[in-house]
Amino acid sequence: MAGRETNPNFMNGVPELLILRLLQQDEMYGYEIVQAIHTRSEAVIAVGEGVVYPVLHGLERDGALKSRRKTVNGRSRIYYSVTRAGSRRLAGLSEAWTNLAAAIQGMLAGGQHGAAIK
């Protein structure tokens, strides 16, 4: 029997997706990233402020991000930006999430998939 892809956790991969999307536009440090997610999602998506760093470290370790230390207003910050591998990962994640969102939307609207959940 062919294996079926599952979505055990709907939030799985969301922080990575949002961070990669934000950093594709501009390099940022952790605090800026959290603020940007909060603002641009109109406070709908709230990520734990401190837990953004393990995601950043993990993405950097995987080669999706690179970092550099920069001093701004007398404070040394670690700025992150997306690498080429990160852009490819973002494209993959975006596609997966677009498909998932469309499928969920379809089910909620009671379309083709709606019958299955009656």
Partner 1 sequence: MAQPSNELRPELRLALRERLLQAGVAPRHVRRYLAELADHLADLRAEEERAGRSPADAESAALIRLGGMEELARAMTEKRQLQSWCVRVPWATFGLAPLFLLAGAWSVALFILWSGWKIFLPGADTPFIPQVDEVANLYFQAGRALYFGAPILIGWGIGLVAARQRLKAFWPIASLVPIALLVVTAQVRASRSEVPGGIGHISLKFAWGSSAQSFSVGLYHTLVVLSLLVLVMVLPYLVWRLQRALVRSA
Among 21, 77, 81, 103, binds partner 1 (CB under 8 A): 77
Specify the long-range contacts of residues 66-71, CB closer than 8 Å, at least 24 apart.
Answer: 68/27
Chain-centre distance for alpha carbon 57: 14
The answer to whether residue 75 forms part of the interface with partner 1 (CB under 8 A) is yes
Residue 47 CB, nearest approach to partner 1 (Å): 10
Residue 69 CB, nearest approach to partner 1 (Å): 10
Q: Which residue number, 6 or 71, has a Cβ lying nearer to partner 1?
A: 71
The answer to whether residue 63 forms part of the interface with partner 1 (CB under 8 A) is no
The answer to whether residue 38 forms part of the interface with partner 1 (CB under 8 A) is no
Residue matched to tokens 């950093």: 23
Number of H helices, E strands in the chain: 4, 2
The Cα–Cα gap between 102 and 26 comes to 28
List, in sequence order, every beta strand (DSSP E) within 1-118: 65-72, 75-82
Residue ranges in contact with partner 1 by CB under 8 A: 29-31, 34, 48-51, 53-55, 57-58, 61-62, 74-75, 77-78
